[in-house]
Homo-oligomer: A and B are copies of this chain.
Amino acid sequence: MATDVRGSTFEPKVHLEDWKLWEQFSAVQTEMIVTKTGRRMFPGYRVKMSGMDPNAQYCVLMDISSVDENRYKFQHGEWVVAGRGEPQVPQRFYLHPNSPCSGQQWMKEIISFHKVKLTNSCGNSADGKFLIHSMHRYQPRIHIVRTDDVNTLHLQPMSTFAFPQTAFVTVTAYQNGQITKLKIANNPFARGFREDGAKTK
């Protein structure tokens, strides 16, 4: 916990945006498509900050960590363990492009990671792409580092936040029809597949 010059303390907190949507997906076990070229997550990962020192500099990072060491399969309408998964490799961090930036700035606006992509091809890894395995469970995480020095980030203490309702199983094609329905109903880019003429954004 950091202390400013006057002695009062700051404890950064992270608030998940669109949590109602995330919970709708989570209730039927969220699936995320992974492709060679990279696929966005939906819902998009967006958060709000509070409790930061307005005058201090922070870096905000994201990563996607393995939930366990299992491989999964979708059988008889549910996800079950299907043997040992791929070895967990420490995931590279994605540094939010606004970093470094003052606490005041971070707290002012929604911090979006919606451009992040999931890929299953080493060759196509680039900034903003997470290399992960299909049929595995993952958990996105947010990290906050109180520093203005991007180069020594790895040496600094880090606060980590994770929201259980954002965990997901990776797939190359949707397994659960309910997930497909939720994606089509809520993702504007999938509007072409809606049966009704819903105009809701």
Name A residues whose Cβ lies closer than 8 Å to a Cβ of B.
57, 97, 100, 148-151
How many copies of the chain does the oligomer comprise?
A: 2
Q: Which residues of B contact A100 (CB under 8 A)?
A: 150
Q: 5 nearest interchain CB pairs? A: A97-B97, A148-B151, A100-B150, A148-B150, A57-B151
Chain B residue with Cβ nearest A100: B150
Listed A/B pairs (6) with beta-carbon separation below 8 Å: A57-B151, A97-B97, A100-B150, A148-B149, A148-B150, A148-B151
Q: Which residues of B contact A149 (CB under 8 A)?
A: 148
Q: Which residues of B contact A57 (CB under 8 A)?
A: 151
Least CB distance, A175 to chain B, in whole angstroms: 38
CA of A7 to CA of B171 in the docked complex: distance in angstroms? 55
Q: Which residues of B contact A148 (CB under 8 A)?
A: 149-151
